[in-house]
Structure 1
Amino acid sequence: MIPQGGTFAQMAVQQPSRTYRLDPVTKRIAGMTDGLEAVKQAVLKILQTERFEYLIYSGNHGCELSEVPGRGQAYLQTELGRRIRAALLQDDRIRDVQDIEITVVGDEATASFTVVSQYGDFDVSEGVRPRV
């Protein structure tokens, strides 16, 4: 007999923030991290990972910075800001990305912005190298 009626409610569960701490100098795992430090690490990891490039990550992880179509500095600044914001907001610990400033010099760009997370706010300045 097939059950009739009833509803199926799926609840979103907040995943824990505790994760391995990655040492950027030695490129090795160096203990554990949690809270704001884990979010800071996740932001840098998202910006350094090209979306859809690695099968180990889902399509929600990473940033599409390698190829930005179009010419012109104003378009490049706007598009990079949009892509960075979209990539970071995939992490449910990040509530907003504010004050995005993109500085383009030659074929390199530097992105500076403020990340608003559930653990606190912090500033990020990261170099990106889009191929145009």
Structure 2
Amino acid sequence: MSVLKTYGQDTASFKPSKTYRIHNGHIEGKIDGLDAVRQSIYLILSTERYQYVIYSGDYGVELAGLIGKRKSYIEGDVERRITEALLEDDRIQDIKDFTITFDREEAKITFTAVTIFGETEIERSVAVG
């Protein structure tokens, strides 16, 4: 079971998602709900899976392996990698409207994360060259 699992099937196992707000590398107060999930998405997508022993094997995303690959390979695999990484957080129910565009050695990725608190648009750039 993932360390990110905070919500069960029944309301008795409900745990708040309140966490510290990270802004410009500093902790500034606390956040909850959709803001906390949005921050979690940012942190997951900023952490390469298996690179840091402090995190469990189901935390982070595997994007470093895409560097130098053909665009067709990246287009076919990056959505799966991001979706699998984000669905480890049980507050995230689905990923939809996934698009990827290339600009030289960078891939611009946009998608909508469907969470238990509502939907949020996410935009991320990934170095691929």
Query: Is TM > 0.5 for Structure 1 vs Structure 2?
Result: yes
- What residue is the counterpart of 1:87 in the other structure? 85
- What residue is the counterpart of 1:105 in the other structure? 103
Alignment of 1:26-65 (within 5 A): 27-65=25-63
Higher mean alpha-carbon deviation, 120-129 vs 72-81, is at 72-81
For 2:115, give the aligned amino acid.
S
Relative to its length, the structure with more helix (as a share) is 2
Q: How many residues align?
A: 118
Q: Say whether 1:18 aligns with 2:18.
A: yes
Distance across 2 between alignment mates of 1:85 and 1:15: 23
Distance across 1 between alignment mates of 2:85 and 2:124: 14
- What residue is the counterpart of 2:3 in the other structure? none
1:73 Cα deviation from its structure 2 partner? 1.6
- What secondary structure is seen at the aligned counterpart in 1 of 2:66? coil
So what's the TM-score if we normalise by structure 1?
Answer: 0.82
Q: Let me know the Cα RMSD of the aligned residues.
A: 1.7
After TM superposition, the runs of 4+ consecutive aligned structure 1 residues lying more than 6 A away are none
So what's the TM-score if we normalise by structure 2?
Answer: 0.84
- What secondary structure is seen at the aligned counterpart in 2 of 1:52? coil
Distance across 1 between alignment mates of 2:43 and 2:108: 16
Unpaired stretches in structure 2, ≥5 consecutive residues? 1-7
Contact preservation (8 Å) 1:70, 1:76:
no
Percent of pairs with identical residues = 42
